[in-house]
Amino acid sequence: MLKKRLIIAMTGATGAVYGVRMLQVLQTQEEWETHLIISSAGVVNLKHEMNMKRAELTQLADVVHGIDDIAASISSGGFKTEGMIIAPCSMKTLAAVAHGFGDNLISRGADVVLKERRRLVVMPRETPLNLIHIRNMATVTEMGGIIFPPMPAFYSKSDSLMGMVNETVGRVLDMFGVNVDGLYTPWTGL
Ligand SMILES: Cc1cc2nc3c(=O)[nH]c(=O)nc-3n(C[C@H](O)[C@H](O)[C@H](O)COP(=O)(O)O)c2cc1C
């Protein structure tokens, strides 16, 4: 079976759990092939927030690319993917994506996804936001990227942090047609 490829990129913004959970969920989906890239700041946060080493994370992905491997398959538009999720996305990587500054495989990968008009979902995390953060989000949106800040919805009355993470991960994966039972319950009205 030809699998659908999805690039998952993790950066040094807080919220490593989003990238980890996404990979865990996709691992259960036979028709999907994940391509992981993590920045060096992402590795630091992964250790700090989840006590997880890079080597443990890479077990969750089908293909792992080095952040500086600018010749990797996903650095070319000729390599077909369904798109890319940056989870979480730092303001630095957001800036690079917004300005086409492809100096590492995350920003280059996003550049390729945008130029090929594939789906790019960016999960930026910072607070409060300064003007350049907001402008960069607007620029990515103007190019067709989707800005999906990991903001929990309290109306679903989740009783745990993981419940809130699952809901966000479920909503993002839904955008690629990955529907996994139990991640979140779609709103049906009051
Ligand atoms: C514990 C920790 C939390 C951080 N959280 C954020 C954050 O939420 N958003 C952000 O833009 N940068 C955050 N940073 C800073 C980024 O890691 C830093 O700007 C880094 O250069 C980003 O590089 P990258 O995009 O290549 O991963 C954090 C750094 C640390 C150590």
Q: Is the pLDDT confidence value at 185 over 90?
A: no
Mutate to test the pocket of ligand 1, among 90, 129, 134, 151 (most ligand atoms within 8 A of CB): 90
**135 among the known binding-site residues?**
no
The pLDDT of residue 150:
97
CATH assignment of 4-174, among 3.40.50.10320, 3.40.50.1950, 3.30.70.1140, 3.40.50.880? 3.40.50.1950
Q: Is the CB of 45 under 6 A from ligand 1?
A: yes
Q: Is the pLDDT confidence value at 59 over 90?
A: yes
Distance from the first to the final alpha carbon of the chain = 42
Phi/psi of residue 130, each to 5°?
A: -95, 175
Q: Is the CB of 95 under 6 A from ligand 1?
A: no
| Residue whose C-alpha is closest to residue 112's, from 103, 121, 102 | 102
Q: How confident is the model at residue 57 (pLDDT cuts 50, 70, 90)?
A: very high
Please write the tens of the pLDDT for every residue from 7-55: 999 999 999 999 999 999 999 999 999 999 999 999 999 999 999 999 9
Q: Whose CA is nearest to atom 28 of ligand 1?
A: 13
To the nearest 10 degrees (0 to 180), the angle between helices 105-115 and 91-98 is 40
Average pLDDT, integer, range 153-158: 92
Average pLDDT, integer, range 170-182: 94
Please write the tens of the pLDDT for every residue from 79-115: 999 999 999 999 999 999 999 999 999 999 999 999 9
One-character DSSP codes across the chain = -PPEEEEEEE-SSS-HHHHHHHHHHHHT-TTEEEEEEE-HHHHHHHHHHH---HHHHHTT-SEEE-TT-TTSGGGSTTS--SEEEEEEE-HHHHHHHHTT--SSHHHHHHHHHHHTT-EEEEEE--SS--HHHHHHHHHHHHTT-EE------GGG--SSHHHHHHHHHHHHHHTTT---TTS-------
| Residue whose C-alpha is closest to residue 152's, from 116, 125, 188 | 125
The pLDDT of residue 179:
85
Least confident segment among 118-127, 135-144, 155-164: 155-164
